[in-house]
Chains A and B, each alone.
Chain A
Amino acid sequence: MNGDARALEIDAVSKRYGDLVALERLSFDVRAGELFGFVGRNGAGKTTTMRIVLGVLSADAGEVRWGGVPLDFAARRRIGYMPEERGLYPKMRLAEQLAYLGELHGMGGPDARRAAADWLDRFGLADRRDDELQALSHGNQQRMQLAAALVCAPDVLVLDEPFAGLDPVALDVMTGVLRERADAGVAVVFSSHELDLVERICDRVGIVDHGRLVACGTVDELRREGPRRLWVDAPGAPPDWAEQIPGVAVVRADGSRVLLELGDGADDQAVLRAALESGPVREFRRAEPSLVEVFRGVVGDSQAAEAPSVV
């Protein structure tokens, strides 16, 4: 296995539904061993992208490759998939259901049964292996859904909103499993609106808006692309001291502390000098934007009402 050389490449993929442009030359790649967060507003094109990767939808243009080779039907069997619309057979027993899905992905019968038992065990469902899916609680059905994506020991995991509706314990289990799979060399891509979670666990993040990739990189890289902000605590300064510096705006004030946003060309050293002139400076530090702030910055505040309301 040549590990990191392999990647899932989405290359200039376009898709239209009638007049609606769902994807416009969307490109990004997910490397083996990497946890990739795919974020965007509702309707931005995340689900469409994933369906095209899985071949459930066909792209109008562009290509999806794995290890440099266009994905075909056989190669797609090496992908574990958790669709946005959850679904398994309600009246099928858990162990049989997982083993069946494993076999559909090309595993042999005994291997599939062993993998099914392992994952049931892992998700604490071993004692319910002969229960029908419909007898499970919502949370356990979610776990089964993830197990269904994992059972075939995939090279690539594509998960559409895997954390929606999970309780905190299930969330920890799921993020733990995804991290572990990525560390084992699987290319993992998932979509989510839980931006603070994405920020915490993802190696890289892609932000999609109106079918286009508007930002892509590690969380640190994205932060650098976000607005430059400073926390300054100058207790002796007059209330409007900062607004007089060219290119600087006050985002909010917290007692004597102010959060400043520096526009293009604004000099942070000029800010520091202005603060010192007013008296003592107790705090002067760069404010790292959160992923949510980066997201709002690149997707645009005008549509912020539709953006996830984290923070």
Chain B
Amino acid sequence: MPAVTAWPTVLLVARREALVRLRSRTFIGGTVVMVAIVAVAIFGYSLVGGRTTSLDIGFTTAAAALEQDFSATAASMGQPVTVSTVADEAAGRAQVSAGTLDVLVTGAPTAPTAVVEKTAPAVVQTALQRAVLSARFTALGIPPGVLATVTSGLQVPVDALQPARSGMTQDRVVGLGVAILLFITLGLYGSMVAQGVVEEKATRIMEILLATVRPSMLLAGKVVGIGLVALLQLAIVAAATLASVAATNVVTTPALEIGAVAGYLVWFLLGFLIYATGYATMAALVSRPEEVQSAVTPVAVFQIGSYLLAYLTLANPTSPVATIASMLPPFAPILMPVRTTGGDVPVWQVALALALTVAAIVGVTRLAGRIYANSAMRIGSRVRFMDAFRG
């Protein structure tokens, strides 16, 4: 047989599917809305709750000797500050109550007082302590370099048996965001695949297609084409997120570093291959658009289950249920990325989740090819799953 190789045909089908979706208002509008939500959330957070907006620190003339050390320490801690010298203490206090200064440093450099509206940020206190230490060393006639020598390595490494979670709140927000985004995108594009399958049956173009294309190529092309569009949309949203994070400097969690974000996209792709293939298979059993929803429900149940388990995972990431479910397909593609936002997932667990998921994809694809081939030409009443399986 002069072989008809599968891939050119799959790519041809995928190209059509992708082009039709890329042109749709759903894609363009959806992308704009998602980017807007992410950007508004991050910029809003930086305006309302962000702590790394630059602080205005005033020094009285007496305390002005602290300025240089203070600025240097604050900068090394990642806290931008603007220092200024005020005319006198009264003028400085007035500025603090007016809000034009965040902190007024007054008194002698070796024993200053920090005047604030309500509380002094921890970073200000630390930087001040360091500047005061330096001032006291100078007062004692000790050369400035000694201080650096004495304090170097003073930060004692902590070896915690139960590692504390730093930045817990931000991780959780990111984890929740990842869960929601994966859930919505999988559902949206999964049902696009399902609708596309039924459209071909309902409009009867299936008969023309199947005269030249094998059912498995048609199925693969559809999943690949729509999957790439979904991946593109998520990549745009991810890029917008990273850009917003970089621009505002409010988020400091490793859960939003490029590597981590790329990981979420990989999990999306794997999840899409499982769910979209499942949706397409179930949709092939029916012939009318209005029957799609009920047909795909058995697959959707797993997806909704994963979403609910994501909340459990966020609440208690180390619980046995969360740990086990995050390694098992079809839950892993949503749960594992959520778990990784909190950090501290053993490598073997991620590897096991990946291996099981890939194995599941292979199994689902085989099953789907069979069901799809056996039901694609059965137009009319709903085909029973077992009938389609037997062929």
Chain A interfacial positions (CB closer than 8 Å to B) = 51, 54-57, 72-77, 79, 81, 83, 85-92, 100-101, 103-106, 148
B366 within 8 A of A: no
B62 within 8 A of A: no
B211 touches A54 (CB 8 A): yes
Q: What would 9 A/B residue contacts be, using CB atoms closer than 8 Å? A: A77-B212, A83-B208, A85-B379, A87-B203, A88-B203, A101-B212, A104-B12, A104-B209, A104-B213
A85 touches B4 (CB 8 A): no
Q: Report which residue of B203, B212, B377 has the largest number of chain A beta carbons within 10 angstroms of its beta carbon.
A: B212
B1 touches A72 (CB 8 A): yes
Q: Chain B residues near A79: list those with CB within 8 A.
A: 211
Task: Please give the number of chain B residues whose Cβ is less than 8 angstroms from any Cβ of chain A in the complex.
Answer: 24
B136 within 8 A of A: no
Q: Chain A residues near B9: list those with CB within 8 A.
A: 104
B1 touches A73 (CB 8 A): yes
A103 touches B211 (CB 8 A): no
Which single residue of chain B is at the shortest CB-CB distance from A73?
B4
B211 touches A76 (CB 8 A): yes
Chain B interfacial positions (CB closer than 8 Å to A) = 1-4, 9, 12-13, 16, 20, 199, 203-214, 377, 379
Besides the contacts A54-B207, A89-B205, what 19 more A-B pairs have beta carbons closer than 8 Å? A54-B211, A55-B211, A72-B1, A74-B2, A75-B2, A81-B207, A85-B204, A85-B207, A87-B204, A87-B206, A88-B203, A88-B208, A92-B16, A92-B20, A100-B16, A104-B9, A104-B213, A105-B212, A106-B4
How far is A73 from B5 in the complex, measured between Cα atoms in Å? 11
Which single residue of chain B is at the shortest CB-CB distance from A86?
B204
Q: How far is the CB of B192 from chain A (nearest CB, A)?
A: 13
Q: Chain A residues near B204: list those with CB within 8 A.
A: 83, 85-87
Q: Chain B residues near A72: list those with CB within 8 A.
A: 1
B1 touches A74 (CB 8 A): yes
How far is A105 from B207 in the complex, measured between Cα atoms in Å? 14
Query: What 7 pairs between A and B have smallest CB-CB spacing?
Result: A87-B204, A87-B205, A85-B204, A54-B211, A83-B207, A87-B203, A74-B2
How far is A56 from B208 in the complex, measured between Cα atoms in Å? 9
Q: At the interface, is chain A mostly helix, strand, loop or mixed?
A: loop
How far is A105 from B199 in the complex, measured between Cα atoms in Å? 21
B1 touches A91 (CB 8 A): no
Q: How far is the CB of A180 from chain B (nearest CB, A)?
A: 22
A56 touches B12 (CB 8 A): no
How far is A75 from B16 in the complex, measured between Cα atoms in Å? 24
Q: Chain A residues near B203: list those with CB within 8 A.
A: 87-90
Q: Chain B residues near A92: list those with CB within 8 A.
A: 16, 20
Q: How far is the CB of B235 from chain A (nearest CB, A)?
A: 26
Which single residue of chain A is at the shortest CB-CB distance from B16?
A100
Q: Report which residue of B2, B4, B211, B377 has the largest number of chain A beta carbons within 10 angstroms of its beta carbon.
A: B211
Q: Chain B residues near A88: list those with CB within 8 A.
A: 203, 205, 208
Q: How far is the CB of B15 from chain A (nearest CB, A)?
A: 9
Which single residue of chain B is at the shortest CB-CB distance from A51?
B207
Q: How far is the CB of B226 from chain A (nearest CB, A)?
A: 15
Q: Chain B residues near A83: list those with CB within 8 A.
A: 204, 207-208
Q: Report which residue of A72, A81, A104 has the largest number of chain B beta carbons within 10 angstroms of its beta carbon.
A: A104
How far is A102 from B211 in the complex, measured between Cα atoms in Å? 13
How far is A282 from B199 in the complex, measured between Cα atoms in Å? 66
Indicate which residue in B199, B206, B208 contacts A81 across the interface (CB closer than 8 Å): B208
Q: How far is the CB of B209 from chain A (nearest CB, A)?
A: 7
Known contacts A56-B377, A92-B20, A104-B12: does B211 contact A148 (CB below 8 Å)? no
How far is A99 from B338 in the complex, measured between Cα atoms in Å? 44
Q: Chain A residues near B214: list those with CB within 8 A.
A: 73
How far is A77 from B213 in the complex, measured between Cα atoms in Å? 9
Q: Chain B residues near A74: list those with CB within 8 A.
A: 1-4
B210 touches A56 (CB 8 A): yes
Known contacts A89-B203, A104-B209, A105-B212: does B16 contact A57 (CB below 8 Å)? no
Known contacts A91-B20, A100-B12, A103-B12: does B206 contact A76 (CB below 8 Å)? no
Q: How far is the CB of B322 from chain A (nearest CB, A)?
A: 43
Q: How far is the CB of B82 from chain A (nearest CB, A)?
A: 58
Q: Chain A residues near B209: list those with CB within 8 A.
A: 104
Q: Chain A residues near B12: list those with CB within 8 A.
A: 100, 103-104
